[in-house]
Each structure stands twice: as structure tokens, then as C-alpha cells.
Structure 1
Amino acid sequence: MGRLIAAADVGSNTAHLLIAHLTETGLKKIVNESDWLSLGEEVSRDGKISAGKRKELTATIERFRRLLDEYKVEGAMFFATEAMRKASNHEEILADIFEKFGIRIDLISPMREAELSYKSSQLDCFGPEPMLMVEAGGGSVQVAYCQDGILERVTSLPIGSGALKARSGMDQPPSDYAINKALEIIQIECDAVANYPSVKRIVACGGLCRGLWRALHPDGDKTLRVEELDFLAWDCARLEAEVVVDRYDVKINRARTLLAGSLILRHLMGMFGHSEVQMSQYGVREGAILEMSERASENWMVSGK
């Protein structure tokens, strides 16, 4: 087994740990663990992380710490994204985690999220540019215009699945009013990227997009068409979450994000005049591991306790 490196992100839907080593053909995943926390929906609604969610997060980080020790991981990067960035009590929470477990969780910017996602998406979705990269999670959607390996424009839209559900009131199944409200919010927020230049293709990544891909393409086909997203949105808009679970072979929490994800991605595809999108199985964690491997001589070890 090669040198083990880890990356963990405290996202708006999940907290996720990846332990992997590099091979000649890419990344070999050794441990891929996650807990569903739904921080983004709570922070969008209340502005902070509650005591209950904080307790769940602490238990998750403790479990991740044990896995780092068990697998004798040489280096690790822990970071948090939109929900933690926006939570009014994030400084207290992150300080407490460092005190308990010796793990420093960095708050990374939307630009940093996009950079790491772009780096990893090139492993399985390399192709012509300029391209549009859509990195979508529970709190935000990063939209990047990429040309010649450079992210020339990056815009963070506050319409991740949890944020959109909190703002629109969408449940599963949602009311017609909630769907129309969600569509209105998506249109308003996506106006921020209306002046982007045209692109040759769209690549989608992040937990929200991977959820769509796995639900629609269990065979692993990486190309999703607009008709498939339209059907998924129509289907999920009328079904109870438990039926979505059975029909698309997804977990209950992921089932509740499929409608929001399909509406968001479908709108962006329409804006840029594309009928299909490439789905990358990689994201910020894989990008972090690739980056750490490139600068292995630097001190990127997690503080030990």
C-alpha cells in the first residue's frame, strides 16, 4: 500500500473523510466515510449551528480522528465550506474541535473549493475548454469559467440543496407554491453568471451532482442529458421521500436533495445552451489529496494529540 493521505470536509450536507493513496492511474480510495449532518439547511434558517448539530459534528470528527490513527495516515487536510463559513458560532466550534482532537479545520473560500474541484475533475472529465464547472453542495453552488487550466471567473451562488429548501420551504413532496418559489430563487441567483462567456462543455461535481448521477446512472455513464433531469424533477416533485429511496436506490437524506439538485443543474444548462453535462466522480477531497501529494515536502500533517 502506498503512502496514505487524507482529506476531510465539513460540508453543508455531510461531513466526509477520504483516506487514499496515489497510483499511476489516479487515486485509490482506502476509506470513504461520511455522516449526514444537514448543517446548511439549519444555518440558512437559523444563522448558526445548534447544540444538537454541534454534538453530532463533534462525534463525527472524533470518529475521523480514530480512523486517521488506525490507518497511520501520514498527512491530512481538514476544511469546512459554506455552512460553517456562514454560521455565526463557527469560531467557537472550530476552536473546541482543535482543543479536543488536535485537528485544525480551515474555512476555505468558494474560490478554493472551485480550485480543488477543478483539479480533481481533470482526472475523469478532461476535455476541451473553455468549460463551465458546476460544483454543488448543500449550502452553495460554485460556478467557474475555466480556460486553459485557469479559473478565470468563479461565482458562489447561495442555492445549495439545503439553502434552497430552507429559503423556498420545499419538502418532499413539495407544494406547487414551494417549487415555484424555488425556481424564482434559482433564476434570481443565477443572474450573477448571466454574463459569463459561452463554453464548449459543462462539467458537474460535488455531492449534490454526484447524487443526481448515481440516481440516474447506476451504470456509471458520465453524461447526463437535460431530458433525464426534467424527468427526475417531475418524478420527485410528486413522490414521498420513501418512494424516491426505493425507485432510485438512494438513501433517505439524498432522496430529499434530488429535486433541488435537478432544478439547479437544469437551469444552468439552459442558461448556457447545453443539452448534456459531464459528471465527475471526484471533488474537493480528491483535489486536496492531489494537491498535498504535489507539495509533500511541506508541513501538511494534522496536529497530533
Structure 2
Amino acid sequence: MSLQENAPTWAAIDIGSNTLQLVIARCQADDLDILIDAEDVVRLGQDVNAHGEITPAKRGEVVDILKRYRSQVSEHHAEAVFVVATEAVRKASNAPEFLDAVERAIGAKVQVVAGEIEALLTFFGASYEYLREQHTSPALAVMDLGGGSTELVTATGEQVNWLTSLPIGSGWLHDRYTRSDPPTEEERELSSIFLKTYLKGVRIKGKPKTLIATGGSAKTLMSLARASLGLDAQASCLSYMDVVRCDGILEALCADEITQRYGISEKRAGLLPSGVQIIKMLMLRLQMCELWISTHGIREGLLLAYARYGERWLEVLETQVQSLGRKRTRVSVGAEMLTETFMDTGRRLLSEGANRMSEWRDEVLKNEDIEAVHKMRVASRRLRAILDSYEGICDPKLFKKVYRLTKEMADMLGKARDTDVMILNLNATLEEVVSEQKAGIAWLLERLHVYRVEHQATLERYLNAFDERKFQHLIDTCIPKGGRHNGKG
């Protein structure tokens, strides 16, 4: 489809948790002729996750990039500039100061959009080319995997059936779970537990036949697949096994090696393992064998929304979101179906997780099987993953207490487990080294054994003083009945 010659030229900027993105295009209600598509990785979400605010250094970096964008907007004589900000700015405690600096730099007002509005805009942008080529109204899902959130929409053709904004993204998962380069086996296992738990609690309406993904991680995954799997340079569809193979590459290679081998920026390469894990888990959750990658997203959706609805675009989208309403989750129990809310699911999983952790307490105190420490530690870290899944609907004060106690338990068990592993490895090494090295290894083993005995005593005092009943009560009341709901499902 060719655009009319008099189609207006507009610009849209997306201030996301990982990136700043600019698109300049000639625009109509159902098509875009893109003139400029620029992206810069800034990782605002990293600051917000660590400090709760955007640091002056990051703010300065954003301002410098926006000044460059403003020059590009002027060069292309864009008649209007639209700017939206998403999860990182939504969460930042100093958002007003940040927005003031941004608006002065770009010369346009910034609209901080809610997650549901972000989801709708993403749907418009990511699906318009795909839908234009279809002769039917396909059942599809669109996901926008960002740094701090993931927007998910299901639709039949252009008719949206359901949407949600999930407060997890590639940057968030990286900072919370997969900080190593490449992520360790334990980090990958825990992040997998978290994602399975979280996505299990999200009731997704409908059975989409097609999944379209957009966002920096999705586009970078496509680049990695083309470079590493020998796919056609124009390919835009990946099989589930393609995603699994790429995940295996990311498991084996550090970010620097990914950059050198496949030409992916190091900043993107560092976040890609967490992004691919989210994509893979969502494909499993939706039972998808294929994934379509779109290079378009919220900024293109913003231009299309303005072309369709004019100055009232935000009001129209808010009305659409309200009309979708809230849904409930259904879980199967034996032969009957019971209705269980997201909050009920959270209470049940937290209680089960706390019980699994407590089951190993007596075995650890016996100090007869070192695997008991490992199993209790894994249970404590799984409980942390469940807590992460339901933080948004927990009582904030109770959540902090429970999370602190759970982390404290995991750290205490971790010191014991790490020492046990070191002793096992050194014992294995002792059999292989030359005689000159045996004395040094034996000395180190002796010191580790002494430390392990001392730490076992510390661990036993800690476990004996740990009030399981009080902890279970905190767990059981962490999600208040009739309390807050974060809008999932």
C-alpha cells in the first residue's frame, strides 16, 4: 500500500526501561512510511531497580540523546512530536524532575502511559503489517518485552479481547536473578521457577494461533538467530527450537563473545539471556511452536493511534481499556473446576513454598546428609521466586519482613552449601594433583572443615531460634483478603 503524497510527517519517542527509541514516519491511519528508526540503550530501569530513582548521570545521558533526536526531527520537518514514557518512569520516585529535564530537551510534553495503554499502543504498532497481509481475522497474541515490563494482548484480527501489563522485563529479570555473565545454572533455574510461577497465575483469555513479539530483546534474538543458525537475512519467524538453540548459545557464551561472534552490541548481549528466557517461557505458556518478530512497537502504535483518533487518542484508548474489564483465573482441582483469583493462587503458592522450606529443617539440624542443606536452600530460593511473583498484591510491610527473613535463610544456608561444594571439589582434586601440591590442598581442606563445623553451629542456633509459626503466619497474611490487586488476569 502506498501512502498519499500529502500524508503528514510525525515523530514518536519511547522512553523505556532499557532503551530510548525514535521513529519518524509519514503517517496514515492504517500505514506508515518510516523515514528514521533509531535506538539507544540507556537502562533507566537499572537505576530504578537499584535506587528507586533515576540518577543524574542517567538523566544527563537521556537529555544528550534527546537533543540528538530533536535535530533529526528538525531535519525531517516533522509536524508534530509525541513522547511517551513507560515502566521505569512510572516507578521512579523522582519522575517529575526527570520529566521536566526531558521536556526541556525535546521541546515536547511527555505522556507517562499506564501499562494497559502501553499494551494497546504496542498491539497497534506490532500487528499492523501482519494484519494488513491477512485475508482473515486471525486469533493472535502480541507481546512487547521491555526492560521493566512485558505487555501482552490477545485479539481477533484488529479486535482486542484482553490485555495486561506484567511488571517483569529483561532488565528486571537480569538485575534480580541473572547477573552473572553468562548466567549460572542456578540463576537460570531460579529465574525459570519465578517465570513459571508468575505466568501460571496469569489468566490469558482466548487461544491465540499466532504470537508476535516486539521490543529490543525480541529484535536482538532475531539478529542472533540469523547470525548463528544460518537463517535468511529477511526471516521474521522463529520456531520454538530456534529459540531453544539461541538460549543454549547464551548459556555457553559471555556477552563479550556474543558481541564478537555475532555483531550484537554488548549492552544488548548482556540482557539477552533474561529476555530470551521470558520469550521461551511465554511460548510454553501459550503452547506456541512459532514466534513472529516485529520491528515495530509502541512508538509506531502511537503514530497510528494519533492518525486514527487525533488529539483524543489517549481518551479513546482509556475507554477501550475500561471496556475490557477484569477477568478471573480458573484452576483444575481433581475432576471439578474451581474459580481461583490471582490473589488466591498467590496465597496458596506462598503457603506451599513455606511448607516445603520448613520440611528440611530437621534434616539440616541432624547434619547427617549435606544434600539436606542444598534442598532447604533451593526451597528458600524458590519461595523468594514466588514472593517476587506476587509482590504487587502483597501488603508492603509484611512483604518486606517475609522477603528479608527468606533471603536471610537462603544466605545462611548458602554459606554452608558453598563450603560443602568447595570441600567436595577439593577432595576430588586431591586425588589428581602431584604430590608437591597435596600438602597445600590438604591444609586448605582442614581450614574449610573447621569453618564448616563453626558455621554448622551458627546455622543450628539460627534454625533453633527461627519461629516457624510466626513466619507461617506472616506468609499466610502477606496477601490481604480483599486487598490490593495488580490487574493481572
Same fold, TM-score > 0.5, yes or no: yes
In structure 1, the residue matched to 2:304 is 290
2:91 is aligned, of 86, 89, 92, to 86
**TM-superposed deviation, 1:282:** 1.2
The verdict on how the C-alpha distance between 1:145 and 1:23 changes in structure 2, with shifts beyond 3 A counting, is: closer
The 5-angstrom pairing of residues 96-245 of structure 1 reads 96-99=101-104, 101-126=106-131, 127=134, 128-217=137-226, 219-245=233-259
What SS does the corresponding residue of 1:76 show, helix, strand or coil?
Answer: strand
In structure 2, the residue matched to 1:303 is none
Give deviations 1:85-116, integer Å, cap 9, x for gaps: 11111112112333455321110112112211
Give the length in aligned residue pairs. Answer: 299
- For 1:277 and 1:290, the matched residues in 2 are separated by 24
- For 1:125 and 1:49, the matched residues in 2 are separated by 36
Between 86-95 and 165-174, report the one with greater CA deviation: 165-174
| Greater strand share, structure number | 1
Query: Which residue identity does 2:192 align to in structure 1?
Result: L
Give deviations 1:164-197, integer Å, cap 9, x for gaps: 0111143321122221221122122212324533
Residue 281 in 1 paired to residue 290 in 2?
A: no
Between 167-176 and 78-87, report the one with greater CA deviation: 167-176
**TM-superposed deviation, 1:58:** 1.5
- For 1:172 and 1:62, the matched residues in 2 are separated by 33
In structure 2, the residue matched to 1:259 is 273
> Could you state the TM-score of these two structures normalised by the residue count of structure 1?
0.90
**Which ranges of structure 2 fall in alignment gaps of 5 or more residues?**
227-231, 314-489
Structure with max Cα Rg: 2
**TM-superposed deviation, 1:270:** 0.9
What SS does the corresponding residue of 2:8 show, helix, strand or coil?
Answer: coil
CA contact (8 A) 1:155 1:192 kept: no
**TM-superposed deviation, 1:25:** 9.0
- For 1:292 and 1:43, the matched residues in 2 are separated by 30
- For 1:287 and 1:25, the matched residues in 2 are separated by 10
The verdict on how the C-alpha distance between 1:150 and 1:241 changes in structure 2, with shifts beyond 3 A counting, is: same
- For 1:71 and 1:21, the matched residues in 2 are separated by 10
Give deviations 1:200-256, integer Å, cap 9, x for gaps: 221111222112122213612121111111111111112121211133321111111
What is the CA RMSD across the aligned residues, in angstroms? Answer: 2.3
In structure 2, the residue matched to 1:57 is 62
> Could you state the TM-score of these two structures normalised by the residue count of structure 2?
0.57
**TM-superposed deviation, 1:152:** 2.3
The verdict on how the C-alpha distance between 1:12 and 1:24 changes in structure 2, with shifts beyond 3 A counting, is: closer
**Which ranges of structure 1 fall in alignment gaps of 5 or more residues?**
301-305
Percent of aligned positions with the same letter in both sequences? 27
> Could you say which structure has the greater relative contact order, defined with CA pairs below 8 angstroms and 6 or more residues apart?
1
